[in-house]
């Protein structure tokens, strides 16, 4: 590798959601299967979907997934800056896994972001001194020319670390050739010299029909395409953010019992860690959907009120939509409701918040005997416990401190009748507990649903990560990618006018 450092690559994208996260994970899995020691890295991430490392640091969940793809333990070094939106205009800034303040977009891009460049690069250099290769993920597009001056995640990182760049484009959306060309042509000559080429993602059909366009793209830019990755169904890999209306597709399998189990997830504002319900969707016979109307709760066997970065805002939304009344009716009828983190807080009696919303004292839904006070310090933990006779692991990310005043203890929260509440994210990934919980839900809902006896969420995740590695190994020019990682961008890449304005 170059200069005694580990090799590296920056996976950029023509747009948000072009596939940078999954391509990065796929490259990590391919390299680790070759016997290399690999780490993922993303200098700055904006996401409400986060994870807690073993040392108690909060990072983007996508980087935790990529670390799993690389078969290494995730650390704060892999995502030194995490932005957690609290509104359209402001975000909590998490530095090296700990919150350091709330900033407006103008305040962040106006100066604070530039201050973070040095610690971001220090993390990358530390990883490169330890690993054979570091696969970096960009954010949005590297051609966001309004943000280039303060960039700490795309070409700013690539330039400082002399990393080669591969740009990923989602052809399923259309316009991928224009995206590749335009992205390159809007970069400065110095930035363009690091853009080695492109990766087409989510292609459906006959690749031979695409090849003339790839040849023309090479003629226009002097840059090759390193692979055409086919559209892959049912990957179920953690996203940074966004919601597609249904959870990611899972393996189709018939229910073990006579009935399916229907799960409705309230799509609250500023929803965080909606991946909590992925383990439910992985169960044969469990149907999961996100909802925002009270009538959509009527036929649900379980309603989940998920985590949120804005508990008070979520409460107002539930009331405005009529969902609060629908949840109260369910509780009165003994029909199952599960609140997780912010959802748990919303199900309580009262919230005192001078930190997140600064709304003061707000009434909760009153379905659980819990009072919550928001503290300045954020709880970041990886708890282990027992519930329903099964071992449970989870992780906690919250400012709210719960005072539980009754009910049956449940994962540091409580249960009253068929209403459960806990601050623990990820608990449903514990297979034995998930099956026991679903049996309780089925009994309360009167469904002849039987959990599959052998569903392993961890094994399913490993299979999905291997599928990502297979996509890279089978559909990308891996020899050329390895040369890039080891040697850097080739010399003499042509400039594509007009360049950055």
- For 106, counting Cβ atoms within 10 Å of its Cβ (0-12 exposed, 13-18 middle, 19+ buried), the class is exposed
Two structure tokens written together for 410: 């449940």
DSSP symbol at 148: G
Phi, psi dihedral angles at 7 (to 5 degrees): -70, 175
Exposed, middle or buried: residue 13 (CB in 10 Å: 0-12, 13-18, 19+)?
Answer: buried
DSSP three-state, residue 247 = coil
**Catalytic: which of 398, 399, 425, 475?**
425
Residue 136 designated active-site = no
Cβ atoms 169, 481 nearer than 8 A: no
Contact 337, 303 (CB under 8 A): yes
- Backbone φ, ψ for residue 343 (5° rounding): -65, -40
Distance CA 295, CA 415 (A): 25
Please list the alpha-helical segments (H only) found in 291-416: 311-320, 323-332, 342-347
Beta strands in 205-333 (DSSP E): 224-230, 261-266, 271-272, 286-291, 302-305, 307-308
Is-catalytic flag, 425? yes
- The tokens for 437 are 């919980």
335 CB neighbour count, 10 Å cutoff: 22
Q: Is the peptide bond before 122 cis (omega within 30 degrees of 0)?
A: no
Single out the catalytic residue among 136, 341, 414, 423: 341
What phi and psi values does residue 179 have, to the nearest 5 degrees? -65, -45
Query: Which single residue is written with the structure tokens 């700055």?
Result: 44
Pure H helices in 38-116: 61-69, 105-107, 113-115
In degrees and rounded to multiples of 5, residue 454 shows phi and psi of -125, 15
- Catalytic residue positions? 341, 425
């Amino acid at each position: 590798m170059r200069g005694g450092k580990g090799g590296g690559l920056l996976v950029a994208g023509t747009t948000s959601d072009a596939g940078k996260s999954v391509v990065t994970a796929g490259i990590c899995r391919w390299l680790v299967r070759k016997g290399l020691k690999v780490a993922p890295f993303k200098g700055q991430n904006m996401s409400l979907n986060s994870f807690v490392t073993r040392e108690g640091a909060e990072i983007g969940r996508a980087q935790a997934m990529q670390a799993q793809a690389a078969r290494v333990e995730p650390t704060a070094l892999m995502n030194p800056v995490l932005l957690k939106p609290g509104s359209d205009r402001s975000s909590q800034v998490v530095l090296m896994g700990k919150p350091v303040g709330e900033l407006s977009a103008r305040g962040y891009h106006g100066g604070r972001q530039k201050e973070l460049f040095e610690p971001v690069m220090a993390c990358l250099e530390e990883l490169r001194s330890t690993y054979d290769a570091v696969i970096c993920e960009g954010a949005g597009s590297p051609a966001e020319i309004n943000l280039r001056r303060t960039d700490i995640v795309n070409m700013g990182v690539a330039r400082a670390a002399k990393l080669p760049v591969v740009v990923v484009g989602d052809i399923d959306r259309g316009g991928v050739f224009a995206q590749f060309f335009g992205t390159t042509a809007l970069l400065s000559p110095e930035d363009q010299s690091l853009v080695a080429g492109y990766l087409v993602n989510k292609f459906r059909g006959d690749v031979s029909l695409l090849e003339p366009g790839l040849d023309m793209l090479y003629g226009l830019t002097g840059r090759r395409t390193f692979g055409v990755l086919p559209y892959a169904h049912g990957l179920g890999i953690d996203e940074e953010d966004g919601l597609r209306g249904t959870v990611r597709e899972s393996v189709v399998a018939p229910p073990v019992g006579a009935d399916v189990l229907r799960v409705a997830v309230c799509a609250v504002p500023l929803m965080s860690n909606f991946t909590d319900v992925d383990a439910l969707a992985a169960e044969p016979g469990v149907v999961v959907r996100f909802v925002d109307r009270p009538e959509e709760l009527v036929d649900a066997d379980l309603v989940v009120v998920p985590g949120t970065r804005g508990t008070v805002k979520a409460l107002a939304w539930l009331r405005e939509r009529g969902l609060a009344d629908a949840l109260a009716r369910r509780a009165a009828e003994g029909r199952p409701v599960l609140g997780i983190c912010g959802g748990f807080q919303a199900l309580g009696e009262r919230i005192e918040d001078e930190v997140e919303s600064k709304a003061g004292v707000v009434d909760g839904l009153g379905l659980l005997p819990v009072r919550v006070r928001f503290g300045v310090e954020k709880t970041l933990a990886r708890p282990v416990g027992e519930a329903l006779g099964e071992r449970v692991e989870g992780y906690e990310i919250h400012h709210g401190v719960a005072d539980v005043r009754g009910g049956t203890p449940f994962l540091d929260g409580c249960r009253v009748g068929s209403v459960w509440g806990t601050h623990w994210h990820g608990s449903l990934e514990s297979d034995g507990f998930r099956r026991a919980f679903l049996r309780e839900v089925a009994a309360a809902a009167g469904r002849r649903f039987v959990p599959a006896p052998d569903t392993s969420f961890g094994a399913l995740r490993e299979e999905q990560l291997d599928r990502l590695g297979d996509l890279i190994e089978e559909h990308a020019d891996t020899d050329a990618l390895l040369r890039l990682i080891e040697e850097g961008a080739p010399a003499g890449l042509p400039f594509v006018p007009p360049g950055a304005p």
